[in-house]
Amino acid sequence: MGFDEPGLLWLLPLALLPLRARGGAALANTWLAGQPADRPSRLLAAGLLAAEVLALAALIVAAAGPHRPEHQVRRVGQGAEIVLVLDRSRSMDQGFGRSKPPPEVRGTGPEALSYYFSQTPGRLRESKGQVARGLLTDFSARRPDDRFALVVFSALPIRVHGFTGHHEVVQAAIAATQVGRGLSETHIGHALEAALAMFEGRPYTGSRIVMLVSDGGDRLDTETRELLARQLQRQRASLVWLYLRSANSPGLTPAEGDAAEAADTVPELLLHRYFQSLGTPYRAYEAGDPEALARAIADIDRQEKLPIVYQDLVPRDDLVPWGQALALACVLALLAAGRLEIRRWR
């Protein structure tokens, strides 16, 4: 326990003043002296005297500002430490492209018309960034034991918030990323470096995940590729890429008949192949519409539930109301006893 004004505790001896002022004039009755000892009355008098002392002591302690300081508690749950790496480039302010229809509905038949009609509702008018932020907010709310951190990036990465288990903070940080307009540049390598650096100095207590949410690729230089490979192995972190496919995007899988030389010019394919070559856990989800992104996040939610040990910060607990309540209860008891006191014989 701590106190805001510990010097006021020196006034506690004043709570003993009622002991000096006890006793009073007896009622005028000549027979009282001849009565036997009344133990219940003595106990009642002692109780009222204790209430006077306790009321004064409680008021003095309450004035000193008692509180239980914030402290850390070790907890065990099911989850992971997740760094959300959210693309904030200009392309994220655009909508999804229409998904390529499956083979059974291609053509001009009723199935194809129904499919294309289902691909044009209002959700496709939402930007990829809006949909991603909404789904990530729901994702964080469903995972109470996870520790989340957030990095947004375009030309340069910005660390929005460090690891925290307070999901109101996480959701507010995600919502804050929609302020302003994105830039045209996308540097995924720098963003991943900043994300992996957030694990530095933290004890390894469970699964570590870097979740990249982006609609573009990046051509990484040799130094960056080597640094990311070392950091992923050193931090024992897995990488998840939620690739939000834009209109006319080739995706992460080359189409049949595409030349290998042509595939080597696509940043998304190059980055995907690099991630696959790292030798560390890696998963990629290609989402061409909001529903596909929701399914991908739901799949991550199902899989990433391994045991995790974490330190939970318990906030300060103010104890002043308890002291005031105790003093009030004692005063009310004394007032009730005063109302019942007989002041003269009838």
What is the domain-level CATH number for residue 218?
3.40.50.410
Quick one: 333 and 192 in the same domain?
no
Q: How many domains does the chain have?
A: 2
Quick one: 148 and 172 in the same domain?
yes
How far is 3 from 320, CA to CA, in rounded Å?
10
96: amino acid identity, one letter:
F
- Is 135 a member of any domain? yes
- Is 29 a member of any domain? no
Nearest C-alpha neighbor of 100 from the set 116, 111, 86, 88: 116
Quick one: 324 and 301 in the same domain?
no
Please report the beta strands in 253-333, taking only residues with DSSP state E, as ranges in sequence order.
282-287, 306-314, 317-318
Look up tokens 């375009």; give the residue. Answer: 154
Quick one: 288 and 219 in the same domain?
yes
User: For position 17, what pLDDT does the model report?
Assistant: 85
Strands 157-164 and 147-153, how do they pair?
antiparallel
Quick one: 222 and 135 in the same domain?
yes
Render pLDDT for 41-50 as a digit per residue (tens, 0 to 9).
788 888 888 9
User: For position 122, what pLDDT does the model report?
Assistant: 45
State both tokens at 233. 């192995």
Question: Cβ(156)–Cβ(186) under 8 Å?
Answer: no
Look up tokens 């994220």; give the residue. Answer: 92
- Is 346 a member of any domain? no
Output the CA–CA distances (angstroms, integers) from residue 186 to 31, 217, 219, 223, in the order listed.
Answer: 100, 8, 10, 18
Quick one: 285 and 326 in the same domain?
no
Render pLDDT for 146-183 as a digit per residue (tens, 0 to 9).
888 999 888 888 888 888 878 888 888 888 877 766 66
Residue 213: domain span: 73-313
State both tokens at 4. 């805001």
Quick one: 62 and 179 in the same domain?
no
Quick one: 252 and 326 in the same domain?
no
- Residue numbers of the chain with a pLDDT score lower than 70: 21-37, 97-125, 180-184, 247-248, 254-264, 310, 342-346
Quick one: 107 and 182 in the same domain?
yes
User: For position 192, what pLDDT does the model report?
Assistant: 92
User: For position 110, what pLDDT does the model report?
Assistant: 55
